[in-house]
């Protein structure tokens, strides 16, 4: 089957139209999609069939978005206990398995269909258009990889990238040399838009600045960008910064338009709630973000607790779009690890933990020669797995480094919502 952008293009045209509808009309679309999703879950997803039956919820009884609150939120930990029961029994062709970046220190695998991907790609493209981007404009994406991609993964990525005229800069470690070469490649590609995690934009930006090139639009995704970081990113890349929020499980949740007054939620693809102690928060008040994805029918995420904090906003944006608004998310505050031989390592360490029965982890570099890894074990964890984790850590950090794996009951969730999966006491200055 030849992959093409036609389905996503059709979806993009639809989303481009719905964004201008009044908010109540968008909510009607949302409710219609939600009812269809819940009916599907009731029929084909074991967990939801059981829960809805127990609570006496029939899909046809769902009359408003508020009815959604009758279902309890689910998190990665719930799904991990019985992954099969959260997946539809009726899978179409073209379903693939994906792993999250483990941004909360919890590796996680789920299913997405081709159509889910296309809807989310359309949602991403719509959000990029808010910055002035148009399909066909050159686009550079800097990604941190913790492992070499398989041939199949590289092929799939290359196909989409070619269609989108998107250049991918895959970096494995952030050394000065790698970043300089990456920055030069981006400069000669002359993209309209560059996107990456805020920390990557900051680090790469120092090198990009030296090329004297400029990129009109800079998209900071994956986690919120602090105001002082925004200024630095703008200076280093020479462009306008757009804050964007999405996760691997729900790619295109919200993004800024040119007004930069909060992030527009893709209400026509997701239902996003903000709760504190199980109750919805008031506008302006921070709560845990719950996402219901209206476009993933193979592994439905319903009131899915992403683990981020943000606040709903009750204003309408002067741009005229009817999509609702939320504030920038408060996310992680990870450090960069600097190894003995001067390599800088930042990002995800999911691969160390993927097959070793670990539920949560935190990595702390005590000094250049000592690192401790705290883990919350899952059922079936043994010391042998701990030794495997330590071995993998030494492969990356340096064979001479002392790595201790410590089993703990819990890893503290920071009160402000900021969590550190990676802590370093070596003190590499991430931001100057």
Tokens of 163: 């269609």
* Whole-Å CA distances, 82 to 76, 85, 171, 364, 373: 10, 6, 34, 30, 26
Element (H, E) at 34: helix 23-44
In the complex, least distance from residue 265 CB atom to Zn ion, rounded to whole angstroms: 11
If the CB atoms of residues 167 and 319 are measured against Zn ion, the closer one turns out to be 319
In the complex, least distance from residue 334 CB atom to Zn ion, rounded to whole angstroms: 30
Binding characters for Zn ion, 288-327, by CB under 5 A (x = yes): -----------------------------x-x-x------
**Separation CA 96–CA 113 (nearest Å):** 6
In the complex, least distance from residue 259 CB atom to Zn ion, rounded to whole angstroms: 5
Q: 57: number of CA atoms within 13 Å, CB side?
A: 22
Within 10 angstroms of residue 29's Cβ, the number of other Cβ atoms is: 15
> Contacts with Zn ion: how many residues (CB under 5 A)?
5
192, 215 Cβ separation under 8 angstroms: yes
Within 10 angstroms of residue 91's Cβ, the number of other Cβ atoms is: 14
In the complex, least distance from residue 267 CB atom to Zn ion, rounded to whole angstroms: 13
Cross-sheet strand order for the sheet of 422-424: 402-407, 370-377, 358-367, 422-424
Q: What is the DSSP letter of 285?
A: -
In the complex, least distance from residue 257 CB atom to Zn ion, rounded to whole angstroms: 3
In the complex, least distance from residue 329 CB atom to Zn ion, rounded to whole angstroms: 18
If the CB atoms of residues 323 and 393 are measured against Zn ion, the closer one turns out to be 323
52, 43 Cβ separation under 8 angstroms: no
If the CB atoms of residues 103 and 327 are measured against Zn ion, the closer one turns out to be 327
If the CB atoms of residues 319 and 426 are measured against Zn ion, the closer one turns out to be 319
If the CB atoms of residues 319 and 344 are measured against Zn ion, the closer one turns out to be 319
If the CB atoms of residues 222 and 322 are measured against Zn ion, the closer one turns out to be 322
If the CB atoms of residues 156 and 313 are measured against Zn ion, the closer one turns out to be 313
The helices-and-strands tally (H runs, E runs) of the chain is 11, 21
Q: What is the DSSP letter of 80?
A: H
Element (H, E) at 112: strand 109-113
Binding characters for Zn ion, 2-21, by CB under 5 A (x = yes): --------------------
Binding characters for Zn ion, 212-251, by CB under 5 A (x = yes): ----------------------------------------
In the complex, least distance from residue 164 CB atom to Zn ion, rounded to whole angstroms: 24
> What is the torsional sign of CA 388, 392, 393, 394?
positive
Residues 247-286 close enough to bind Zn ion by CB under 5 A = 257, 259
Kindly list the residues in this chain that would bind Zn ion in the complex (CB under 5 A). 257, 259, 317, 319, 321
């Amino acid at each position: 089957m030849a992959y093409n952008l036609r389905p996503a293009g059709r979806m993009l045209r639809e989303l481009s139209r719905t964004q201008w509808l009044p908010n109540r009309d968008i909510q009607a679309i949302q409710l219609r999609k939600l009812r269809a999703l819940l009916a599907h879950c009731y029929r084909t997803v074991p967990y939801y069939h059981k829960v809805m039956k127990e609570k006496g919820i029939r899909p046809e009884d769902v009359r408003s978005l508020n009815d959604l609150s009758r279902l309890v939120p689910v998190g990665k930990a719930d799904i991990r206990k019985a992954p099969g029961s959260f997946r539809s029994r009726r899978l179409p062709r073209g379903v693939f398995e994906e792993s999250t970046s483990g941004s909360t220190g919890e590796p996680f695998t789920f299913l997405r269909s081709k159509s889910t991907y296309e809807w989310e790609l359309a949602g991403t493209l719509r959000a990029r258009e808010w910055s002035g981007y148009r399909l066909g404009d050159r686009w550079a994406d800097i990604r941190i990889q913790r492992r070499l991609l398989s041939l199949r993964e590289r092929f799939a990525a290359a196909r989409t990238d070619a269609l989108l005229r998107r250049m991918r800069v895959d970096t494995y470690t952030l050394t000065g040399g790698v970043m300089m070469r990456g920055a030069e490649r981006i400069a000669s590609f002359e993209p309209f838009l560059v996107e990456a995690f805020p920390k990557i934009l900051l680090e790469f930006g120092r090198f990009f600045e030296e090329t004297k090139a400029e990129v009109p639009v800079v998209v900071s995704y994956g986690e919120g960008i602090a105001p002082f970081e925004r200024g630095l990113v703008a200076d280093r890349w020479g462009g306008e910064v757009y804050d964007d929020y999405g996760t691997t499980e729900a790619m295109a949740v919200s993004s800024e338009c040119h007004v930069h007054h909060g992030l527009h939620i893709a209400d026509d693809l997701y239902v996003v709630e903000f709760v504190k102690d199980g109750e919805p928060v008031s506008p302006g008040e921070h709560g845990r973000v719950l996402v219901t994805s209206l476009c993933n029918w193979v592994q439905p995420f319903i009131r899915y607790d992403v683990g981020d904090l943000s606040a709903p906003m009750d204003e309408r944006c002067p741009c005229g779009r009817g999509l609702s608004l939320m504030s920038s998310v408060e996310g992680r505050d990870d450090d960069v690890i600097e190894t003995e031989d001067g390599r800088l390592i930042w990002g995800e360490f999911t691969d160390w933990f993927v097959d070793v029965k670990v539920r949560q982890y935190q990595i702390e570099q005590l000094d250049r020669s000592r690192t401790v890894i705290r883990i919350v074990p899952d059922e079936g964890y043994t010391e042998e797995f701990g030794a495997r984790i330590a071995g993998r850590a030494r492969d990356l950090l340096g064979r001479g480094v002392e790595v201790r794996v410590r089993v703990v009951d819990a890893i503290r969730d920071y009160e402000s919502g900021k969590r550190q999966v990676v802590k370093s006491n070596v003190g590499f200055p991430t931001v100057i």
